Structure 1
Amino acid sequence: MNIDSKSIVDSSVDLESFNFAGHTLKYFYHRGNCGFPPEPRTERTVELSIVDKWLSLAGENVWEIGAVSCNYWRPIRVEKIIDPYDKHPSVTDKLSIMNVNLKGRKVLSVSTIEHIGKFPQPGNEETPETVLKALDKLFEESPCFLITYPPMYNLILDNRVFNGSLPGDVKIRFIVRQPDQTWQEVFNPEEAKRPYGKTRRSDGSSAGSDAIVMLERGNLL
């Protein structure tokens, strides 16, 4: 890959790695919405790298809310995929998170929770507040989870998370896009409140979110 030296602020920086939770991780490149330089890297390039690390530490018997990881890894790395809408053949349970018993389960959810109740559909019982019920269900039932989502997309979810009303054993972390298109962990929540979809590719399309929120319980990361 050719990189224009004029775009590099510090030539000692490894532009193919980023730091998160004390780990140095490689950006995750994939044709499925990850973005290859010189185009902006989407949030998937960091999100999936962090998920990869978490899954390697979590081991077996992980249940996933939302059919995401099955689009990036073969064989499937989770025991169950719970999604009421996705038609991917790897979905094991076409159920809402609200109808699944998560007691004692390790749970992964990648950029899914922000969609719960966002656009209520005829025939289901979701309302905009259902996302808060889903979050509480996770807190009450799962002893170990990694939940990722882009901020400034579901403000009801943001208000709950950013206001600090989380259980004491749930860690919240933030990673944001930098002007040079690298990603960096930040520790001030205000730095993660970035408008969704502001960064654009060369064709004018959105490069996705400029920030990701990570909620973790279980101290794996």
Structure 2
Amino acid sequence: MNVKAMNLAYELDWYRDFINNSDLVFCDGFGVLLGAILLGYDVEPTHRMTCPDYIENLGLACEQQNVSLFLLAGKPGVAEKAITQLTTVAPKLQVQGYHGYFEKSGDENEQVIQMINAFNPGVLYVGFGMPLQEHWILHNIERINARVFLPLGACLDFYTGTVYRGPEWMTDRGLEWLTRLATEPNRLWERYIIGNPLFFYRVFKERMSKNK
């Protein structure tokens, strides 16, 4: 969950249900931490888990527990690059991948599902961006042979360096959004310039209602 996900959960009933019905929900954003603090919850920066920081540990854990991993994300070539990096760290990891730029319905979607099922992964990483990845999971989960579904957005793009995430001193201090806005302003301006203030307006509105 980051600020965008919180805004989607506020606006879309089905998305909110998806989050509330998940077995685990990770905090992936300093904005969510700050919002929780403003509402009186006892949270710390260590409660934040962002996928590019732990994906190699995930690969190592899958290797050690003999759990297979399928990466379904990114533009063509990104999943393959991520597999190369992961198998350098975890050489015995059972891993396959496919890009996320396919038709999410019809024949091409069926072919992708068949590919996943043939591999029979323990963990399926899905990275199409929100809310498309969650929508796709909801509509296909009953037909896919995977035990764990992880909707993790642009993690592979950051992990492989395909998209610049920003220097560590910024990402560790809640300023990653500034780098992303500077590098992709046309695509992300609404998410950050409108979405961030909207989220905190809703947080303050909730806080005021609790103080009545």
Would you call these one fold, judging by a TM-score over 0.5?
no
The structure with the greater share of residues assigned to strand is 1
TM bin (shorter chain) = 0.3 to 0.5
Using the size of structure 1 for normalisation, the TM-score is 0.36
The structure with the greater share of residues assigned to helix is 2
Using the size of structure 2 for normalisation, the TM-score is 0.37
